[in-house]
Chain A
Amino acid sequence: MTSIVIPRPEGYARPRSALLDWLTTVDHKKLGILYLYSTMFFFGVGGILALLVRTQLAVADNSFVGNDAYNQIFTMHASAMLFLFIIPVWAGFGNYVVPLQIGAADMAFPRINALSFWLVPPAGILMFSGFLVDGGAAQAGWTAYSPLARGLGPGMDLWIIAVILLGVSSTIGAANFMVTMFRLRAPGMTMFRMPIFCWTMLVTSVLQLLATPVLASALAMLYIDRNFGGAFFDPNGGGNAILWQNIFWFYSHPAVYIMILPGMGIISEVLPVFSRKPLFGYKAFVFATMGIGGLGFSVWAHHMFTTGAVLKPWFGFMTFMIGVPTGVKMFNWLGTMWRGSISFEAPMLFALGFLSMFLIGGINGTFSAAVPVDFALHDTYFVVAHIHYVLFGGSVFAVFAGLYYWFPKIWGRRLNEKLGQAQFWLMFIGFNLAFFPMHLLGLDGMPRRIATYSNESGWEALNMASTVGAFLIATSMIPFIVAVIAAFMRPKDQPNDPWNANTLEWWTTSPPPVHNFDDLPEVHSERPLFDARQSGAGH
């Protein structure tokens, strides 16, 4: 086994103050870490808002936060979780991991990369500063339906501007990822030898590049309606009250795949490593990812079945169909573990949490594809259950799988295994307790987005269970935070490849040097490190 020596680029070693270095860095690894820090921060903020929501809903006829504050709280909960946590957290993982996995020294456009990141924190601050202005923060839900959103206070404008900034960040980030993967792959790494996580980032980037600008156009229209007397969404001026929904969901359905595909990529890295087998059906997996991306543009109106303004059979059918490529992935994951040699370290536990819970989220989404059933379920807690089974049971479990998996690479230390197991079980149980009852509440007719419900409704017991679950999830963060602090107090002791993994990021040191690689193994398959181990090469 030979290896390729890389000429080291000049100009990397610029000694500066540490703070200045973090503020001005264009190194994809540092930017990745900054992304991870800030998005995890917003996860905490969004989570605390969720706890307020759950406290308000714990008992009937509660006035703990009040109607006005409630609408702001759940709107900002979802906005933080989606726009400031889950979408940019994938940019964080992608930033750190993609260049390493393809054997590159950095992203294609490091400076644009820095710009992508530095748009995120100001946007977050802008969005949350709504709490300080007259009338409070945005309060039309994360979907900002108009005409409602046309008439709300200035917090809504801050929200619009913040989401536009975040949109710019992810659009230019998407172009950056695409060029990076098209152009900077290591010798021998054909597209079909690219690690699956990279593929999912690639398809995600395509979705971001094409869908996010459409959201920007909708936001621009809303801004014009609100501030320049526009009539886009005003039927009295010849506008259309459903237009917002059409354009918003044209973006936001593809966006839900933006929120899950990289998570699926992480799972597809973790499962093979801890099953000691290659990913089953690599190519089928790639095509399924593309299929989901493509179909994702043809189902948006399944959020609008009850508007009476969309072609229901078509959108119902396409929505059902999207289960097919997702099923292919599910079965390939099972195929990967089948006849494997499975061990249960923390990253694997979270990956398994993903498999078992995302399955539920996918299936309960399919109920809504049966249009008449959606007439009953739409805008009830059944949909809230769906949201959290896919986004928490799916995406958040994948985030933690990724954190436990790449922590040794990124920080050179390993998170304590026992604490990881504790976190997983607390989270898994708390999660189901918090969100499973929501299915039943939805069936029982509890609408979403209500600040309170009456005593006669009979919804109290299940709501209380859900609230207890939410606080259990919050508790599960304690072992995680302890594990992180404990890890940082230890020296960096991790070898290049603590997991016996397959992909190039594990070839270099943990953490990698500024220039990433001193040399690279030859790439003959999608598992260059496995090949290297088999042929006895390595460090």
Chain B
Amino acid sequence: MAVTGMRRHVRRSLLLLTVALFALASIGVASAQVGTPKPITDEAKKIEDLWIFTLLIAAVVFVAVEGALIYALIRFRKRNDELPVQTHGSTVLEFVWTGIPVLIVIALFTYSFIVLRDVENTAAAEDMTIEVQGFQYQWQFTYQLNDLGVNADPAASGEISVIGTAAEEPTLVIPIDEPIEFRLLSNDVIHSFYIRDFLYKLDVVPGRDNRFVITARETGDYFGQCAELCGLNHALMRFKLKVVTRDEFDLWVAEQTGGNGESAVRRAD
């Protein structure tokens, strides 16, 4: 009686396990649809390629190992009371399954190293520097009027400053197709400047001068948010990102300065 009872029981368990894993896989497939980030910068596109490569390898490893596990559970389930052959190990196998992962690791590392170098390559002439000040609990984006990229007037003085408030998320406006440097500064605690569709974030650390350069390739409205716990209203350190054409950008600048090149500090609206 015990054996058949056990068998039924095993079969039911395996069935359940298969169903569960199947459900898991379908969540995975469904996920391809829900809002995955849209890489809008050169750098983000490279990161996405690396992500896909990593995902592929991960999928192969996952399917191989999980598959072997499920196969073993079905194939080698207990059928009788006989003691199976008592194998203790195999040096050859140990080398194989140390060696193959090492090769995978080398491949993954090499590719990620190349992407890392590209993403962090700031050698390209950066046309414009935007100063990002993180504070508890919002952001301030500052543009120097003499450093506004291709159409900038080097003799201009003053700045545009957009400050977020608890009630209003600030909007960060940047022109498309131009390298832009972000300079991240904080005077209180650590924040993190994160824009999902850049696939990138960099911490805003008091006492450090962190910078990065991106070139946006798609116009549109995006969003960003502080990604480092910074206290009470960390969740509310949100901001908007607007990638616009050069013309629209110049227009926006003119609007901010009242067209006379004077310094303008504006609260978000």
Residues of A within 8 A of B (CB): 67-68, 70-71, 140-141, 145, 147-148, 151-152, 235-236, 239-242, 275-278, 280-284, 306-309, 312-313, 316-317, 320-321, 323-324, 327-328, 330-332, 334-335, 337-344, 349, 352, 355-356, 359-360, 363-364, 366-367, 369-373, 375-376, 378-380, 421, 425, 428-429, 432, 436-437, 439-440, 443-445, 447, 449-454, 458, 462
B36 closest partner in A (C-beta): A443
CA distance A327 to B94 in the complex (A): 10
Quick one: which of A320, A443, A453 contacts B37, CB cutoff 8 A? A443
Contact with A along B221-239 (1 / 0, CB 8 A): 0010111111111111010
User: With A151-B189, A449-B234 given, is the CB distance from A371 to B116 under 8 Å?
Assistant: yes
Chain A residues near B101 (CB-CB < 8 A): 323-324, 327
One of B46, B62, B79, B205 near A372 (C-beta < 8 A): B46
Residues of B participating in the A interface, judged by any CB pair closer than 8 Å: 6, 9-10, 13, 16-17, 20-21, 23-24, 27, 31, 34-37, 46-47, 50-51, 54-55, 58, 61-62, 65-66, 68-69, 72-73, 76-80, 82-90, 93-94, 97-98, 101-102, 105, 108-109, 111-113, 115-116, 119, 188-190, 192, 194, 196-197, 199-203, 205-208, 210, 223, 225-236, 238
B225 and A447 contacting across the interface, CB-CB below 8 Å: yes
Pick the residue among A370, A379, A453 that contacts B228 (CB under 8 A).
A379
Residues of B within 8 A of A312 (CB): 116
| A313: contacting residue among B82, B113, B200, B202, CB under 8 A | B113
Q: Which residues of A contact B112 (CB under 8 A)?
A: 316, 369-373
CB-based contact B205/A277 at 8 Å = no
B113 and A462 contact, CB distance less than 8 A:
no
Contacts A240-B207, A344-B77, A364-B58 aside, 16 further interface pairs with beta carbons under 8 A come to A147-B188, A241-B205, A275-B84, A306-B203, A317-B105, A335-B89, A335-B93, A341-B80, A342-B73, A369-B112, A372-B46, A376-B199, A445-B194, A445-B196, A445-B197, A445-B225
Are A366 and B58 also in contact (CB < 8 A) when A342-B72, A359-B66, A373-B50 are? Answer: yes
Contact with B116, one of A339, A372, A447 (Cβ below 8 angstroms): A372
Q: Which residues of B contact A324 (CB under 8 A)?
A: 98, 101-102, 105
- CB pair B65–A349 under 8 Å, yes or no, is no
Give chain B residues whose Cβ lies under 8 Å from the Cβ of A145: 189-190, 228-229
Residues of A within 8 A of B84 (CB): 275-277, 339-341
Identify A278's interface contact among B34, B88, B189, CB under 8 A: B88
With A147-B188, A147-B189 as known contacts, state yes or no: A241 contacts B73, CB within 8 Å.
no
- Pick the contact of B109 from A236, A308, A317, A429 — CB < 8 Å? A317
Question: Complex Cα distance A339/B85, Å?
Answer: 8
A338 and B97 alpha carbons, distance in the complex (Å): 15
User: Which residues of the partner chain B approach A307 to less than 8 Å between Cβ atoms?
Assistant: 203, 205, 208, 210
Q: Give B228's nearest chain A residue, CB to CB.
A: A379
Q: Contact check, B47 vs A367: say whether CB atoms are below 8 A apart.
A: no
**Cα-based distance from A152 to B31 in the complex (angstroms):** 39
CB < 8 Å neighbour of A241 from B97, B190, B238: B190
Residues of B near A152 (CB, < 8 A) are 231
Beta-carbon contact of B47 and A375 below 8 Å: yes
Cα distance A371–B108 when bound, in Å? 10
When the two chains form the complex, which single residue of A317, A344, A440, A444 contacts B9, counting CB atoms closer than 8 Å?
A344
Collect the chain A residues with CB atoms within 8 Å of residue B69's CB: 334, 337, 352, 355-356
Report the minimum CB–CB distance from B131 to chain A (whole Å): 16
Q: Are B208 and A242 in contact (CB under 8 A)?
A: yes
- B208 cross-chain contacts in A, Cβ below 8 A: 235, 241-242, 307-309
In Å, the complex CA distance between A53 and B47 comes to: 32
- Tell whether A379 pairs with B109 under 8 Å between CB atoms, given A306-B201, A372-B47: no
> Given the complex, which residues of A lie within 8 Å of B34, measured CB to CB?
440, 444, 458, 462
Q: How far is the CB of A70 from chain B (nearest CB, A)?
A: 8
- A-B pairs, top 7 by smallest CB distance, nearest first, are A235-B207, A445-B196, A450-B235, A281-B89, A370-B112, A376-B199, A331-B97
